Structure 1
Amino acid sequence: MNAYDLFNGDADGLCALHQLRLVEPRDSVLISGVKRDIALFDQLPSGRPLQVTALDISWDRNAQGVCRVLNGGGQVTYFDHHSAKKLFRHPQLTAHIDSGLDVCTSILVDRHLGGVLRQWAIVAAYGDNLDAVADRMAREHGCTAATRGALAQLGYLLNYNAYGESREDLHFCPVQLYRSMHRFESPLDFMAKAYEFRRLLEGHASDLKAVQGLTPYTANDKATVYVLPDRAWARRLCGTLANQLVARNNGRSVAVLTPRSDGDFLVSLRIGSASASRADVFCSRYPAGGGRHGAGGIDRLPDQDMDRFINEFFAHLESDTP
């Protein structure tokens, strides 16, 4: 069978595939894209059996594509931590799916591999805004405070590279970044030797200068909403900025709205520690919306629906249901 590896272009997807292929090498075609480009099964060829591994892309957004592969005599291995309401069983399907609060896809791969490349799972956890989980894993792994800081920095930068409306917004295509990472068994070696890491470090520092002075669009006692300008730096920062903003928002939730080239908005939403509400439940009300418990997004929010979205977001946080 022709082999394909489909992976999210963020830190979690990159580190998940990197771990898996260091331990279980396979000559495969790589398919990825920007952070929100997750319907990757749609890019697969038809007409012949395929061996597909999918990492960190929503099952519910790809369920029909999985069916096509299986019905065509193919095999699918799936690692993911997002909502999977449409999950089914099939003899040619192996699914490692866990939507728990304390996991990301790289942690699921780490479990599958017995922890032999644990530092890459720690990098992914930091990048996926699971700082407490990553800190615990790093301490259990014997990492010093300096090493923990370095792994966290790498996780944030790999995640930062994934955000954009198109690949032109990114510093590196995720496939190119993966191939560079895959030359290094240690994340610390990648940071010390790879040009790509230095470029991400410089690009992130430059983008952060542009965001200085950012003020909320609106806020209440449970959440803050930010609307970014129509700039490439804003599209690159939107996801990592949402993580940083919620971390210092005193338990309140955060929504970051970033203009798209067509005049609509891309939404990055994070639920603060003071709320029991779910990001995935709320975002899935909207077309092309979804996520996981604490973090979600909407690929396209029409401009005319912005005020309605904000009111519904505030109301969702006020309700007693998740």
Structure 2
Amino acid sequence: MHFDVFNGDADGIIALVQLRLAQPKESILVTGVKRDINLVEQVDVSTASSMTVLDISMEKNTEALNKVLAHNIPTFYVDHHRTGDIPVSEWLTTIINTDANTCTSLLINEHLNGQFAYWAIAAAFGDNMNLSATSLANKLGLSEEQQAQLKALGIYVNYNGYGATIEDLHYPPAELFKLLVQFENPFDLINDKHSVFTSLEKAYQEDMLKVKQAEILADETKCKVIVLPDEAWARRISGVLGNDLANQSPNKAHAVFTENADGSYRVSLRAPLSNKQGADTICVQFPTGGGRSAAAGINYLPAELVSKFIETVKLYY
């Protein structure tokens, strides 16, 4: 049995959409909310015949990956996050690029020679890689209106991935993948008024109207930090709000704190768009932190470490 293991955000889902449109395959889907990245350990090595892993940090899955490889299970691993030490194994094939201006869907697009490039553009926009997305779109001759449509699609799919649990999401990521993969051309999805695109658009707009409730914890030359309440709508918008703020003030780092039920904070950090590095370096200094150079996060930041986190961001940038 083949296992498809993928991040529940736009990049992970759309990377798999491209791959399965090009190479249809029955598989067991292993995914979760965006922050649920310890996914390889869910693969049953006693039944797995092969495995694909997309948009999941190898560094956070090293032990489980080594277990899979020890059972001689062919594994195709594509990612742009921190890797740690990449295992040396004849059973492992990788496409890894941690450059801040690429994402897993763009790597899959190159792997497939641009077969489903419109999907890759949507994913890149969703991952807030606007320059890379626009560059590819311009090469393909897409109009500004078409680019705006793909950008909206990417943002909505990415928005759906944020939450503490699957119950916070409008669609479980595995279900959303199944809905998207029915469309070879994302414009057919966008133009279908009864599609998931329309329902996510409505939900996204409703949640973003509530951002006025956000508390500004810090707003300085190099850093802005806002706090959202312990509510499902806040958890859903935490990531896309960080991207939105980063686009508004590209020379600032932005952190969105969302209150957890235990009094700690879930943190979403965006490096300045003018200096897309260091977010992962900052976040890994704190327990439960991780990510990539341009965007990273912390699942549980204790309240007593909030000041230290803000000072760390200010000093870094």
TM-score normalised over the length of structure 2: 0.96
CA–CA separation in structure 1 for the residues paired with 2:173 and 2:263? 26
Mapping of residues 67-106 of structure 1, within 5 Å: 67-106=66-105
Match of 2:316 in 1: 316
Residue in 2 that maps onto 1:256? 256
SS in 2 for 1:255: strand
Distance 1:139 1:235 in 2: 34
**SS of equivalent to 2:4:** strand
The residue that corresponds to 1:132 in the other structure is 131
User: Residues 85-129 of structure 1: CA distance to partner in whole angstroms, max 9, x if unpaired?
Assistant: 221221010011100122100011011111010000000000000
Partner of 2:286, secondary structure, is coil
Match of 1:183 in 2: 182
Q: Quote the offset at 1:72 in angstroms.
A: 1.3
Shift of 1:46: 3.6
Range 46-55 or range 148-157, more displaced: 46-55
For structure 2, list consecutive stretches of 5 or more residues without a partner in the other structure: none
Query: What displacement does 1:288 show?
Result: 2.1
Cα distance per residue 1:63-89 (max 9 Å; x no partner): 111100010121110010111122122
Measured after TM superposition, the shift of residue 50 of structure 1 is 3.4
Structure 1 residues 211, 86: CA separation in 2 closer, same or farther (over 3 Å shift)?
same
- Secondary structure of the structure 1 residue equivalent to 2:216: coil
Q: Distance in 1 between matches of 2:215 and 2:135?
A: 33
Residue 270, structure 1, aligned to residue 256, structure 2: no
Matched, 1:157 2:167: no
Partner SS, residue 56 of structure 2: coil
| 2-structure distance, mates of 1:96, 1:271 | 24
The change in CA–CA distance for 1:257 and 1:221 in structure 2 (over 3 A counts) is same
In structure 1, the residue matched to 2:49 is: 50
Q: Distance in 1 between matches of 2:120 and 2:300?
A: 30
What 5-or-longer segments of structure 1 have no aligned partner? 318-322
Q: Name 2:140's counterpart in structure 1.
A: 141
Further displaced range: 173-182 or 86-95: 86-95
Secondary structure of 2:266's aligned partner: strand
Say what the alpha-carbon RMSD is for the aligned residues: 1.4
Q: How far off is 1:195 after superposition?
A: 2.8
Equivalent residues of 1:246, 1:253 under 8 A apart: yes
1:31 aligned residue = 30
State the SS of the aligned residue for 1:216: strand
Shift of 1:47: 3.0
User: Structure 1 residues 276 and 43, CA, compared in 2 at 3 Å: closer, same or farther?
Assistant: closer
Q: CA deviation at 1:305?
A: 1.5
Seq. identity, %: 38
* 8 A contact 2:59–2:84 mirrored in 1: yes
Letter in 2 for 1:301: L
Query: Structure 2: which amino acid aligns with 1:299?
Result: N
1:159-174 superposed matches below 5 A: 159-174=158-173
Query: In the TM superposition, what is the alpha-carbon distance from 1:13 to its structure 2 partner?
Result: 0.6
Counterparts of 2:13 and 2:195 in 1: how far apart (Å)? Answer: 17
The aligned length equals: 316
- Measured against aligned partners, the alpha-carbon deviations of 1:28-52 in whole angstroms (never above 9, x if no partner) come to 1001100000110121124345311
Corresponding residue for residue 111 of structure 2:
112
Distance (Å, rounded) in 1 between the aligned partners of 2:97 and 2:281: 16
Bigger mean CA offset, 300-309 vs 126-135: 300-309
| Alignment-derived partner of residue 244 in structure 1 | 244
Is the 1:49–1:72 contact (alpha carbons within 8 Å) kept by the matching residues of 2?
no
Bigger mean CA deviation after superposition, 10-19 or 278-287: 278-287
CA distance in 2, matches of 1:25, 1:123: 21
Corresponding position of 1:205:
205
Q: Aligned partners of 1:134 and 1:159: how far apart in 2?
A: 15
| Distance of aligned partners of 1:277 and 1:49 in 2 relative to their CA distance in 1, 3 Å threshold | closer
Change (3 A) 1:101 1:277: closer
Amino acid at match of 1:261: A
User: What's the TM-score, normalizing by structure 1?
Assistant: 0.95
CA-CA distance at 1:238 after TM superposition = 0.1
- 1:254 and 1:272 in contact (8 A); partners too: yes
Are the counterparts in 1 of residues 222 and 314 from structure 2 also a CA contact under 8 Å?
yes
Deviates more, 1:217-226 or 1:124-133: 217-226
